[in-house]
Structure 1
Amino acid sequence: MTKTQSGQVTLDATDRAILAVVVRDAEITNKALAGRLGLAESTCAHRLRQLRERGVITGSHVDLDHAALGYPLQAVVSVRMGSHSEQLVEEFFDAITATSQVLQVFHLAGSSDFLVHVAVADAAELRDIVLRHITVHRGVRQTETHLVFEQRTGPGTVSNR
């Protein structure tokens, strides 16, 4: 693994193989990782440490079954701002990312300024999030709510190049 002048990290096939496994299973033990890839445990441990030190791996996460927690309905709320001042955008971004039941927030270029991914108990709770937490911000001009029927995760960027 090396860094280019632009600061981008160049990964070799071993780094990419390690990332492909840990992206799918962040809790895999070093021994299991080494066994799956046919590498020495010390090689895997060293490579993982390097990937963390270089900022390629920035953390790990747990996937939750929101339906099992009482939030079976997911939606993506598209938000258009009436004003794009830095202050209004930052205020909205900070407030919405601190809102309960918000899973992800994307700040975008294009016809929508934000996409807000939420998990809620029912349609009434979805309405309340939109009315009490999104449209109340002074910069918000319009919202459009899209129900999520199904979500799948793609391979990401590990397999590229």
Structure 2
Amino acid sequence: MPHTASKPSRFDETDRRILRTIQRNGRITNAALADEIGMAASPCLRRLKALEEAGIVAGYRAVLDRRALGHGVEAYAFVKLSQSDPDWRTRLVEKLKAFEEVISCQAMTGECDLLVHIVADDIEAYGEFAMQRLLTLPGIADMRSSFVLATIKPDKGWPV
């Protein structure tokens, strides 16, 4: 039988409706949120604050259009590392975090050690970033890039 992830039992269907709504619209007013989920404003606000305090709602942010910001290229770099010293990895991670071109970075199992999500203004800027900055970091043994041709399903948040 396949394993299916279970939802945490610490919140109920009302909490789930709140979470789904604020994932779609983080700027919704408390009054509109309460109206949408069918409850009074005060208890709705208390529930939302409890979800924030529990760390389930980790923050709010705007979704920006990368092309409108001038980032014409979006890519994923599959990075293979050559060292495993913890201190060396910490230094590498800090350098990756400092690059504004790096949107996210995940440690992986399998064929690559790191999956690095990168944006650049154009292909030349990506090439310069990859060759002059990313590949010059100590401990990177190999890197392969794949470029985003189209976004089939944009990130709409976590299943709730």
- Correspondence for 1:35: 35
- Correspondence for 2:65: 65
How far did residue 133 of structure 1 move? 2.0
State the identity %. 27
Q: Would you say the 8 A contact 1:79–1:143 is kept in 2?
A: yes
How far did residue 9 of structure 1 move? 6.6
Q: Would you say the 8 A contact 2:81–2:142 is kept in 1?
A: yes
- How many residues align? The count is 151
Aligned to 1:83, the other structure's residue is in SS state coil
Q: Would you say the 8 A contact 2:92–2:137 is kept in 1?
A: yes
How far did residue 157 of structure 1 move? 3.0
| Runs of 4+ displaced beyond 4 Å | none
- TM-score scaled to structure 1, two decimals? 0.87
> Which stretch of structure 1 is more off in the superposition, 56-65 or 139-148?
56-65
- Correspondence for 1:153: 155
Give unmatched runs, 5+ long, in structure 2.
Answer: 1-7
- Correspondence for 1:4: none
Q: Would you say the 8 A contact 1:76–1:117 is kept in 2?
A: yes
CA displacement, residues 61-119 of structure 1 (integer Å, 9 cap, x when unaligned): 22111101111210011111011221222211111111022211112222211111111
CA displacement, residues 28-64 of structure 1 (integer Å, 9 cap, x when unaligned): 1111111111111112100010001111111112211
